[in-house]
C-alpha cells in the first residue's frame, strides 16, 4: 500500500487554525522533518490576526504515536530533543490551543498534547508517556508540565512504567478535559473553539501567562486592559444584550 508523504497540514476556518499530523504509515508518528516544521508553522499562525484559537489533531483514527525513530540519524535522543523544542513552541503559542485526540496519543504525541491548553479525547483513546521503554531521560520541563496536569503520583506511574491508560482514566487524572462518544469529537471541538474565538483574547492571553507560572506582570496586563477597549465593549455588549466585538489581539 502506498501512503501519502508525512507532513503537517494546516487550515484556518472561522478564526480557528487546525494543524493535522499526517503520517498514516506509522500511526502519525512525527518524522524529524515534521518536528522541525512545527515551531515555524506555529510562529506563522501566531502572527496571523485572523487566528484566534488553534486545534492540533492527527489524521484519521489516531492522534500521534510519538517519534518515527527510523527517520532520525542519532536515534531516540535526537527525537527527544526535537520533540522538546516543538513542545515548548506549542506551549508558548499565545492563543488558546486544544488537542483533539483519537486513538493513540503516545510518547512525543503525549508531549504535544500536554503542551496544549486543553485536551478533548474520543472514547477509546489511549495515552502513554514512554521514555522508560527507550532508556531516555525525560526532560525537566516536560516532567514539570506533566506533573502540573496529573499530579506527581500519576506522573510517576506514567513515567516509571510507560504503560498506556485509557481515556476514562486520563479524564479522572486531569490529563484530558473532556471525553466524547465515538463520532462526536469533531462536533464538540468545533463548538468549543467557536466559543474560544468569540471571547476576549486579552483575557485569554493574560490568563494563559499567569497559569503558566508568570505572576509578575499584573501591571502590564492592567495597562493592556486600559488601552484595549475590550472591557468597555464587554460591559456595553452585556447591557445591550448582544455579542461583544472584542478587538485586542496578540498579533498586535
Domain-located, residue 105: yes
**pLDDT tens-digit readout, 88-144:** 999 999 999 999 999 999 999 999 999 999 999 999 999 999 999 988 899 999 999
Residue 251 located in a structural domain: no
Q: How far apart are CA 76 and CA 68, in angstroms?
A: 9
Sign, CA dihedral 145-112-72-29, equals positive
Identify the three-state secondary structure at position 21: strand
Is the pLDDT at 232 greater than 80? The verdict is yes
How do strand 53-58 and strand 118-122 relate by DSSP bridges?
unpaired
Instruction: Fill in the DSSP letter of residue 175.
Output: S
Q: Verify that 207 and 94 share a domain, yes or no.
A: no
Q: Are residues 159 and 67 in the same domain?
A: yes
What CATH number is given to the structural domain containing 36?
Answer: 3.90.226.10
Residues 191 and 208 both lie in one domain? no
**134 or 154: whose pLDDT is higher?**
154
Do 20 and 58 touch, CB atoms closer than 8 A? yes
Residue 69 carries which DSSP code?
A: G
Instruction: Of 79-88, 137-146, 162-171, give the lowest mean pLDDT range.
Output: 79-88
Q: Does residue 215 share a domain with residue 140?
A: no
Amino acid at each position: 500500500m502506498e501512503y501519502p508523504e508525512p507532513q503537517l497540514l494546516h487550515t484556518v476556518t472561522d478564526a480557528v487554525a487546525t494543524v493535522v499530523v499526517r503520517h498514516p504509515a506509522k500511526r502519525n508518528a512525527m518524522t524529524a522533518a515534521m518536528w522541525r516544521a512545527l515551531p515555524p508553522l506555529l510562529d506563522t499562525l501566531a502572527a496571523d490576526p485572523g487566528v484566534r484559537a488553534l486545534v492540533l489533531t492527527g489524521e484519521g483514527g489516531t492522534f500521534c504515536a510519538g517519534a518515527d525513530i527510523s527517520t532520525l540519524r542519532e536515534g531516540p535522543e535526537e527525537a527527544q530533543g526535537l520533540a522538546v523544542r516543538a513542545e515548548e513552541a506549542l506551549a508558548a503559542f499565545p492563543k488558546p490551543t486544544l488537542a483533539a485526540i483519537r486513538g493513540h496519543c503516545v510518547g512525543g504525541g503525549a508531549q504535544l498534547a500536554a503542551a496544549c491548553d486543553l485536551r478533548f479525547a474520543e472514547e477509546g483513546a489511549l495515552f502513554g508517556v514512554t521514555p522508560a521503554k527507550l532508556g531516555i531521560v525525560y526532560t525537566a520541563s516536560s516532567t514539570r508540565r506533566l506533573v502540573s496536569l496529573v499530579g506527581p503520583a500519576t506522573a510517576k506511574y506514567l513515567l516509571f512504567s510507560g504503560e498506556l491508560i485509557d481515556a476514562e482514566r486520563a479524564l479522572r487524572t486531569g490529563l484530558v478535559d473532556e471525553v466524547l462518544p465515538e463520532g462526536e469529537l469533531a462536533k464538540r471541538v468545533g463548538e468549543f473553539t467557536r466559543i474560544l474565538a468569540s471571547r476576549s483574547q486579552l483575557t485569554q492571553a493574560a490568563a494563559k501567562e499567569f497559569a503558566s507560572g508568570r505572576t509578575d506582570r499584573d501591571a502590564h496586563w492592567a495597562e493592556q486592559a486600559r488601552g484595549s477597549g475590550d472591557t468597555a465593549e464587554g460591559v456595553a455588549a452585556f447591557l445591550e444584550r448582544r455579542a461583544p466585538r472584542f478587538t485586542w489581539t496578540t498579533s498586535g
